[in-house]
Amino acid sequence: MNKKVSNIKTPLAESVIKKLRSGDIVYLSGTIYTARDQAHRLIMEMIKKKKKLPFEMKGQVIYYCGPTSARFKGHAGSCGPTTSSRMDKYTIKLLSLGLKGMIGKGERSSEIVGAIKEKRAVYFAAPAGLGALVSRHVIESECIAFKKLGPEAVYKFEVKDMPLIVVNDVKGNDVYKRKRKCLR
Amino acid sequence: MKKVKDISRKISEAFIDINYDLSSDVIFALKKALKKETSSLGRFTLRNILLNAELAGKIQVPLCQDCGLAVVYVEAGEDVSLDGSLVKAINDGVKDAYKKGYLRKSVCDPVTRRNTNTNLPPLIHVEYIKGKSIKLYLMSKGGGSENKSRLKMLTPSDGIDGIEDFICETVALAGASACPPFILGVGIGGSFDKVTALAKKALFRRVGSKNKKASLQKLENRIFKKVNSLGIGPGGFGGKATALAVHIEMKECHIASLPVAVNINCHSSRYKCIKL
């Protein structure tokens, strides 16, 4: 198993994405946007109504995350990932609008794994259940949409060296499927 | 006479405490798992889990952003007297903790999805015991692992093999999104509703503690070995540590049934028992 370690930046360039392989450890820096269940639902409504989205999808990275409220303005609270598969329903549309990266936890459906390959995107796992650790890599946080939703709002995060593991790459690999044994 | 104000304050302190300070039994089990782990991504994950536990208290950021539903098991002495409502005391304590402790409010209307913004209501279970004391078992239960928990009404002929298969299948289906390594609370017997309550109550046992019954101890050990040979590993990235512990609780059941429930808890098992 290759465990290449690299530092990468957002927006994700095609030349970077194509080199990433399932199982690699990467340290991500730059802007990412949080969105979970309710934010996805509202973004879909905005797309349908042809409204301007809270952020441009092209080349961007969405983080499936609902942070705790922070003690200090501009800081992030605890901010580990939530289960990505709940957003599978919305993902194909967002990929077609140019979304290039997703960060969350857990397996995606085979349809999404295929779409990631086809659209030359990437899906990363963030340290799951480790919100304090992740918060240290968020240097700035700002709520940019759906403020009323609290933890389910969209936050713009500036991250530095956020530790991630590549799950699904442009070759259709899946780190979660590697070591599974079948039931008896 | 016990004062409900004191109870409320203690509940608030306990909920804040468990969300910043991973209990020593969980840390001990994680360190033990790290010693045995051979998968490199598994070791990477376990080290991060231990680092997160160290950081949370120090930087005053909750262990996990999902500060959970507040679950409260009450063992109330039959002869206890209070100067007010216990349910109100629990509600006040939870509300206060989630506000003061900067804990995420994760409770909503199931249909409209509107957040209650207080993390209320908590889920309260009450059991009566002899005496004048009250024991409160408190837990912040995350949604990711709860979503992967399962119940099955087996038939008597499914027997022990059926139980073991169902538990292993549940763990395999849970995979990475329920945040392994898990603590597995297993309920066997009772009824459709009781078995899930047993499974949840099993999560309040100290991690790695053994059932008092020898036959259940053996079953716990056997299932522990079996689930840890599934290869899911820490974070789901492969490895030996899929579960940190298996806790089984049992109750007699109907001659026609064999209910089994598996309540999965993530590695960030946030629980505490307070005695009043």
Model confidence pLDDT, tens digit, residues B151-166? 999 999 999 999 999 9
Catalogue all structural domains in chain B, each as residue range(s) with its CATH number: 4-17+63-141 (3.30.360), 143-268 (no CATH)
A·B CB contacts under 8 A: 166
Q: In the structure, what pLDDT confidence band is assigned to residue A49 with cuts at 50, 70 and 90?
A: very high
State the DSSP string of B30-89: HHHHHHH---HHHHHHHHHHHHHHHHHHHHT--S-S---EEEEEEEEETT--BSS-HHHH
Report the 10 Å Cβ neighbour count for B156.
12
Residue A4's pLDDT is: 78
CA A138 to chain centre: 14
Integer Cα distance of B253 and B49 in angstroms? 39
Contact B48, B255 (CB under 8 A): no
What residues of chain A lie within 8 A of the CB of B234, using their CB?
Answer: none
Per residue in B201-250, pLDDT (tens digit) is 999 999 989 999 999 999 999 999 999 999 999 999 999 999 999 999 99
ipTM of model: 0.94
Q: How confident is the model at residue A184 (pLDDT cuts 50, 70, 90)?
A: very low
pLDDT band per the 50, 70, 90 thresholds, residue A2 = low
DSSP A73: T
Q: Check B62 against A178: CB less than 8 A apart.
A: no
A181 closest CB neighbour out of B55, B176, B229: B229
Quick: pLDDT tens for A146-162. 999 999 999 999 999 99
Reported confidence tier of residue A3, pLDDT bands at 50, 70, 90: low
HSE toward the beta carbon, residue B207, CA cutoff 13 A: 27
The reply to whether B118 touches chain A by the CB within 8 Å rule is no
Backbone phi, then psi, for A155, in 5-degree steps?
Answer: -110, 140
Q: What is the DSSP letter of B257?
A: -
Report the pLDDT averaged over residues A47-61.
Answer: 96
Contacts of B65 in chain A (CB under 8 A): 65-68, 77-80, 82, 131, 151
Question: Is the per-residue pLDDT at A90 higher than 60?
Answer: yes
Q: Quick one: how far is CA B118 from the chain centroid?
A: 21
Question: Is residue A181 scored above 50 in pLDDT?
Answer: no
Mean pLDDT of chain A: 94
> Which tens digit of pLDDT belongs to each residue from B12-68?
999 999 999 999 999 999 999 999 999 999 999 999 999 999 999 999 999 999 999
Instruction: Check CB contact under 8 Å for B165 and A130.
Output: no
- Best residue in A38, A68, A161, A167 to probe B by mutation, most B CBs within 10 Å? A68
Spatial distance between the Cα atoms of A18 and A7, rounded to a whole number of angstroms: 14
- Show the domains of chain A with their CATH numbers: 5-183 (3.20.130.10)
pLDDT confidence bin for A182, thresholds 50/70/90: very low
3-state DSSP assignment of residue A34: strand
Question: How far B231 CA sits from the closest chain A CA (Å)?
Answer: 5
Residue B139 is predicted with a pLDDT of 98
CB B226 within 8 A of CB B161: no
The answer to whether residue B60 neighbours chain A at the CB level (below 8 Å) is yes
CA distance A170 to B34: 32
A5 in contact with chain B, both atoms CB, cutoff 8 A: no
Helix axis angle for B40-59 and B4-20, nearest 10°, is 140
